[in-house]
Chain A
Amino acid sequence: MNIAAPGHGNSTKPIIRPRIYWEIADALTLAKRNLVQIPRIPEELIFSTIQPVMFVLLFRYVFGGAITGTGTTYVNYLMAGIFAQTVIFGSTTTGIGLATDLQKGLIDRFRSLPMAKSAVLTGRTLSDVVRNTFVVIVMWTVGLLVGFRPQGSILAWFGAAGLLLLTSFAFSWISATIGMAVRSVEAAQSAGFIWLFPLTFASSAFVPTQSMPTWLRAFADRQPVTIVVNAVRGLLLNKIDATTIWEAVAWCVGILIVFIPLSVRAYNSRTAR
């Protein structure tokens, strides 16, 4: 082992740039770190793709026949709900990933470095958006195979994709807050998931809300998943409703405004053990 003095570091000077530059550059460094790992642990991505595929098949072939009043074929109705559910469930990987980093002591290392404070969280939420994009593309293909026929313009479809990714990003920050708040990876897993079940199922994702009892419908019609699903559905089926789209965007922005500061604060006060 050759441990000769390395000329005490005058050749390794940090670059001086404005703070905002590092907020972005550090986040990208960490997003890259997360992304290069995905092909190295393929089983993780495979299982997170199989789950929504199962939902498509179950709803399309098991429940679909019994669901009426959708105004189109059930598979056309279903896919907007599946896309939304996929990105929202997919956002839980953010919290799980952060809780894992915390447990392994990586967050301690990052916090001891002179890097941007938001970067670990931004890097993780960004890489999860990329990952979710991939899963949505797979779901789109699966949808086409089981009879999904989107209508209207390609531009609107890209609009739908954009809205889904914004939703994915927003829910990732909620997940990040949960991941930094709980004490273990297992807790991040269950705490991240459990509240998403009522939120996605008591919505217009899989069935029209008119079929629900009044009290439940009052909730279902107003909650963000329904609004996102309705906006996406409109964009995919050529029934664009600008108000719903803006409401959906407003929900996402609102979530970001609340949960970005919350999770950054949690990050700055947490250590591994």
Chain B
Amino acid sequence: MANQPAIIAEGLRKRYGTTQALDGLDLRAEAGTVLGVLGPNGAGKTTAVRILTTLLKPDAGYARVAGLDVVKDADALRSQIGLAGQYAAVDENLTGYENVEMVGRLYHLSGSAARRRADELLQRFDLVDAARRTVKTYSGGMRRRLDLAASLVMTPPVLFLDEPTTGLDPRSRLGMWEVISKLVSDGTTVLLTTQYLEEADQLANHIIVVNFGRVIAEGTADELKTQVGGDRVEMTVGPGSDITRATEILRPYSVGEMAVAAERRHLIVPVAAGAQQLAAIIREMDAAGIAIDDIALRRPTLDDVFLSLTGATTDAADLTTAPAERPLAGSPR
């Protein structure tokens, strides 16, 4: 089992009525890594998590988690996985302690083991002070931490986190990231879905971008960024500067299309070899007497990746549906 991927899925399909939630999804996570599943709302991320955690049966395709088939070995698999969801599935009329203890009992721990685990986990997630309060009184961040604590009662080798920070304030989000990173350093395999590109960038070793139930791109965060384009220099020149002259100076450096917003005195130039070019540009501008208000070398963010990828897919979908409609409109009697 050592060389087997902790999570593997091939050709997963799932349809709800007329919606094809998953349309041949493939994914793979090696043991001890974090797989980031990135996609907009409705892309099929949650459906994929539901299938991988045995909550839903796929219409087609197959998946194994921790070496167990998600359909045939569903019962055995449930003791190998933890699931923490975007809706923080904890009982708000129970205390934090009661929630974790109950989950321990439902994993069939003895009463004393369940109580001990509840104590340990609440301590680990900084919830000791709130342990005896009902969850109703918890903040969003505390609920997520409790939800995560409950999913870790059995120290599962594979953990599924479905949008763990959706709706959290920035500070709580950072707190969750810290918690998740530490879990991973303990050797847990994590599948993390998110709409936040920054989150995937921060946490995931490997990222798949999902849209319309299919993987539309994958790789490391860096690979995905390179796929969209390389570095670029963004520059704002001082008031009254000669924009035309600045544009001429920049043109030889450009490896693609330049963007010039004259009224904002803003220029964006795609460049090949980042840092050296930046120094050269500054020297030339200086020699030409053009004042620079602001200049920066920017790598594309995952947001750029995401927008360019999902935008492209939407266009492609429009193109494929159009011909199908044509025969209807123009069909001869």
A contacts, CB < 8 Å to B? 1-3, 5-6, 8-9, 11-15, 17, 22, 25-26, 29-30, 33, 36-37, 40-41, 104-106, 108-115, 119, 271-273
Q: Across the interface, name the chain B residue whose C-beta is closest to A28.
A: B105
Q: Is the CB–CB distance between B108 and A15 below 8 Å?
A: yes
Q: Which residues from B are CB-within-8-Å of A108?
A: 50, 55, 83, 85, 89
Tell me which residues from 170 to 195 in chain B have a Cβ below 8 Å from any Cβ of chain A: 175, 178-179, 182-183, 186-187
* Alpha-carbon gap, A92 to B190, bound state (A): 40
Main secondary structure of the interface of A (DSSP, over half): loop
* Contact A29/B102 with A15-B110, A40-B93, A112-B55 known, Cβ cut-off 8 Å: yes
List 13 A-B pairs, Cβ < 8 Å: A2-B124, A8-B187, A12-B116, A14-B154, A25-B105, A33-B94, A104-B87, A106-B89, A109-B89, A111-B54, A112-B81, A112-B83, A273-B46
* Alpha-carbon gap, A3 to B114, bound state (A): 19
* Alpha-carbon gap, A108 to B183, bound state (A): 23
Judged by a CB distance under 8 angstroms, whether B125 is at the interface is yes
Q: Is the CB–CB distance between A3 and B155 below 8 Å?
A: no
* Contact A109/B178 with A15-B110, A36-B94, A37-B93 known, Cβ cut-off 8 Å: no
Kindly identify which residue among A15, A36, A110 contacts B98, using a CB–CB cutoff of 8 Å.
Answer: A36
Q: Is the CB–CB distance between A3 and B182 below 8 Å?
A: yes
Q: Which residues from A are CB-within-8-Å of B117?
A: 12
Q: Across the interface, name the chain A residue whose C-beta is closest to B186.
A: A5
Q: Is the CB–CB distance between B107 and A113 below 8 Å?
A: yes
Q: Which residues from B are CB-within-8-Å of A273?
A: 46
Q: Is the CB–CB distance between A105 and B155 below 8 Å?
A: no
Q: Which residues from B are CB-within-8-Å of A112?
A: 53-55, 78, 81, 83
Q: Is the CB–CB distance between B123 and A105 below 8 Å?
A: no
Q: Is the CB–CB distance between A1 and B178 below 8 Å?
A: yes
Judged by a CB distance under 8 angstroms, whether B75 is at the interface is yes
* Contact A105/B89 with A3-B182, A11-B113 known, Cβ cut-off 8 Å: yes
* Alpha-carbon gap, A15 to B81, bound state (A): 18
Judged by a CB distance under 8 angstroms, whether B267 is at the interface is no
In angstroms, how far is the closest chain B Cβ from the Cβ of A106?
5
* Alpha-carbon gap, A17 to B109, bound state (A): 11
Q: Which residues from A are CB-within-8-Å of B98?
A: 33, 36
Judged by a CB distance under 8 angstroms, whether B307 is at the interface is no
Q: Which residues from B are CB-within-8-Å of A26?
A: 105-106
Q: Which residues from A are CB-within-8-Å of B310?
A: none
Kindly identify which residue among A33, A105, A115 contacts B108, using a CB–CB cutoff of 8 Å.
Answer: A115
